[in-house]
């Protein structure tokens, strides 16, 4: 059955709904109206609003300190020969933190002016918080790179230690500051919900607060827009397949223009002896066919949904641990462009042959050598 589906897909025109079905997950729900427990207490409501503004001020001050004493100085030297961090590492650790600071400074300014309805201000500014998605999505890898550089890069370690001596730093560790945007976007949803429960439905703040609360929760739980869904899927897939290509943009498994169409669990057969050589999974993308080997011949069938959607996914801001995913025993063997591949039925009903007859040897990478060695037979 799985083989039939794989062959049907690879031999037919691809439609948008086919791609979406392969990677769509169940949508996250927002706070339902019937869950709201209204409490009439104006004094408590005002206290919650002031608390919101006070914590926003503290948050913006922390981000400003980070950008002023760490991010900007590092970026000013990242293209120099003897830089502390090169351009790649600098952007990989601090991501778009300066963009987040900018939108939150504007938010705080409007909150402090207090000349417009609180709900309206929240609605308008939180609608501009899409920049948090990138930060949430890549924060786990950013933390790993920071920890690695802090351990092996003595100049970077001294620079961070010196920056922490600034009074505004309040002796906070850099890794704790880097995670604050992740924590803050989650708290927006909770704090706004608390204020909403103290706001009558006929209040001028109610509609704006409700929309702001929904938007904050949508971002905090990384609801399934196409870009986020694709990025999350490929990050999970990359962490699941050992030695996956990540050399550069042109030769990387993670690619926003690529989509996963289908996969097939199979056994690779030696083309001379006709004996099983390894258990594999074949992944069909919009532009590539990838083969990954399993740890043993009797390895369990890969359940694609479990592979691509983990309990520790974006909803909790911690991506699947590489070691735990590798318990599935997947290891990259090779891939090739679909346009260079030929597929024919094997000698038996449940077999197929893949051949990279049109593979360009002049610009071949090491990742494509697997298919350059001749026909590949799968059962």
Domains of the chain: 2-24+228-378 (2.30.29), 33-223 (1.20.900.10)
Closest CA to 111 of 219, 212, 222, 218: 212
Contacts within 8 Å (CB) and 24+ apart, 246-251: 247/365, 251/365, 251/367
pLDDT of 155: 92
Do residues 41 and 198 lie in contact, with contact meaning Cβ atoms separated by under 8 Å?
yes
Q: What is the reported pLDDT for 255?
A: 74
**Which H or E run includes 248?**
strand 246-248
The confidence score (pLDDT) of residue 80 equals 82
How much is the pLDDT for 322? 40
The C-alpha R_g of the chain, in whole angstroms, comes to 25
Instruction: Count the Cβ atoms, other than its own, within 10 Å of residue 284.
Output: 20
| pLDDT value of position 310 | 44
Please tell me the distance from the alpha carbon of residue 44 to that of residue 59, in angstroms, as a whole number.
Answer: 22
**What is the reported pLDDT for 4?**
62
Provide the whole-model pTM: 0.56
Q: Which residues of the chain have pLDDT under 50?
A: 12-34, 224, 249, 309-328
pLDDT of residue 60: 95
Distance CA 162, CA 379 (A): 61
Nearest-angstrom CA–CA distance, 237 and 304: 10
Quote the pLDDT of residue 334.
85
Give the pLDDT of residue 348.
Answer: 77
């Amino acid at each position: 059955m799985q083989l039939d589906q794989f062959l049907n897909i690879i031999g037919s025109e691809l439609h948008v709904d086919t791609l979406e079905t392969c990677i769509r997950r169940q949508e996250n729900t927002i706070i339902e109206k019937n869950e709201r427990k209204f409490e009439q207490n104006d004094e408590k409501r005002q206290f919650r609003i002031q608390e919101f503004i006070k914590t926003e001020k503290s948050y913006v001050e922390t981000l400003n300190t980070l950008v002023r004493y760490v991010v900007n100085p590092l970026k000013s030297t990242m293209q120099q020969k003897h830089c502390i961090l090169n351009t790649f590492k600098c952007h990989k650790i601090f991501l778009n933190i300066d963009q987040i600071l900018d939108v939150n400074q504007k938010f705080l300014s409007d909150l402090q002016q207090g000349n417009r309805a609180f709900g309206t201000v929240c609605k308008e500014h939180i609608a501009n918080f899409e920049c948090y998605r990138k930060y949430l999505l890549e924060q786990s890898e950013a933390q790993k790179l920071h920890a690695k550089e802090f351990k092996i890069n003595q100049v970077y370690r001294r620079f961070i230690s010196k920056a922490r001596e600034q009074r505004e730093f309040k002796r906070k560790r850099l890794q704790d500051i880097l995670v604050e945007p992740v924590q803050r976007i989650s708290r927006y949803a909770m704090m706004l919900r608390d204020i909403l429960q103290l706001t009558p439905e006929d209040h001028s703040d109610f509609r704006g607060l409700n929309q702001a609360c929904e938007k904050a929760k949508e971002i905090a739980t990384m609801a399934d827009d196409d870009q986020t869904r694709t990025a999350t899927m490929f990050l999970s897939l990359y962490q699941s397949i050992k030695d996956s290509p990540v050399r550069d943009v042109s030769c990387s498994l993670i690619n926003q223009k690529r989509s996963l169409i289908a996969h097939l669990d199979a056994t690779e057969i030696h083309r001379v002896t006709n004996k099983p050589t390894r258990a594999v999974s074949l992944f069909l993308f919009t532009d590539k066919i990838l083969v990954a080997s399993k740890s043993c011949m009797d390895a369990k069938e890969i359940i694609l949904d479990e592979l691509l959607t983990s309990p520790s996914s974006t909803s909790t801001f911690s991506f699947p641990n590489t070691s735990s995913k590798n318990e599935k025993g997947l290891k990259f063997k090779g891939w090739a462009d679909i346009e260079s591949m030929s597929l024919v039925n094997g000698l038996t009903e449940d077999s197929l042959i893949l051949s990279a007859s049109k593979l360009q040897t002049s610009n071949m990478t090491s990742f494509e050598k697997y298919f350059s060695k001749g026909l590949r037979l799968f059962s």
